Structure 1
Amino acid sequence: MAAKFKMSTRGVGQMLNSPWMGGEILRRAEAIKTAAEVLSPVGGPGDPHPGKYKGSWYAKVQRKPVGRSQKKRPVGVVGNRSYYARWVEYGTERVPAHHVLLRAARAGGG
């Protein structure tokens, strides 16, 4: 005879808000940040900001409303503080897109 499983919605919420879950989310965000740093382009000798983009990555955990219930849950955030990060990621008419964050996220965080 198979045992029955009854999920506790409250228990799942407690698990998602537990310190170990926040730690795991941060670990994965840090792994994506590390991959982004490795993939970041660094300009040549004429670059006025060599290495600024590569050194501007950050990873953190924020509590944000998620899902239909809009209850706050820990969410991993990876970003870049350089003002031109958007142009490096998506490109311009003169600069090809590098898709650094996209490639870093696809690489895992696992």
Structure 2
Amino acid sequence: MPAKFKMSKKGVGELLRSPMIQAEMERRARVIESVAVSIAPVGAGAWDPHPGHYKGSFEVSSTARGGRRRDRATATVRNTAYYARWVEYGTERVRAHHVLLRAAQAGGRG
């Protein structure tokens, strides 16, 4: 006789907010952070007044109440350098490096 399964929406919600899932989301975010740090551009010479500042400004945060509906564990990787968006997306004078995009594509499954 085949096994039967009845899904519990409450149970799935509890699972998605569980410490186990939050820990896994944070682990994946740490992998992405590690890749981002390894590929982050570092300026040199007189044109970069803060060489290495962008590379050293990555951070990870996690919560059990994340997502659009605040109903699941999430983790976030971000860069706190004031110019991080310009490194990621570029400007008319600086090419886009897409550091976080490339890190998420390369490291999210690690």
Given the two structures, how large is their TM-score scaled by the length of structure 2? 0.90
Name the SS for the 1:45 alignment partner.
coil
AA in 2 matched with 1:86: R
Cα separation, 1, equivalents of 2:87 and 2:70:
34
Match of 1:60 in 2: 61
Q: Deviation of residue 65 (structure 1)?
A: 4.6
Match of 1:103 in 2: 102
Percent identical residues: 56
Gaps of 5+ in 2: none
- Residues 9 and 88 of structure 1: CA distance in aligned 2, closer, same or farther (over 3 Å): same
1:48-79 CA distance string (max 9 Å, x none):
0100000000011032253xxx2432211110
- Bigger shift: 96-105 or 15-24? 15-24
Instruction: Give the CA RMSD over aligned residues.
Output: 1.3
Match of 2:51 in 1: 50
Paired positions, count? 107
Gaps of 5+ in 1: none
Aligned partners of 1:33 and 1:78 also within 8 Å: yes
Cα separation, 1, equivalents of 2:70 and 2:44:
46
Superposed, 1:78-93 pairs within 5 Å as 78-93=77-92
- Bigger shift: 56-65 or 44-53? 56-65
- The runs of at least 4 consecutive aligned structure 1 residues that moved more than 4 Å come to none
Name the SS for the 2:71 alignment partner.
strand
Given the two structures, how large is their TM-score scaled by the length of structure 1? 0.90
- Residues 71 and 82 of structure 1: CA distance in aligned 2, closer, same or farther (over 3 Å): closer
Name the SS for the 1:42 alignment partner.
coil
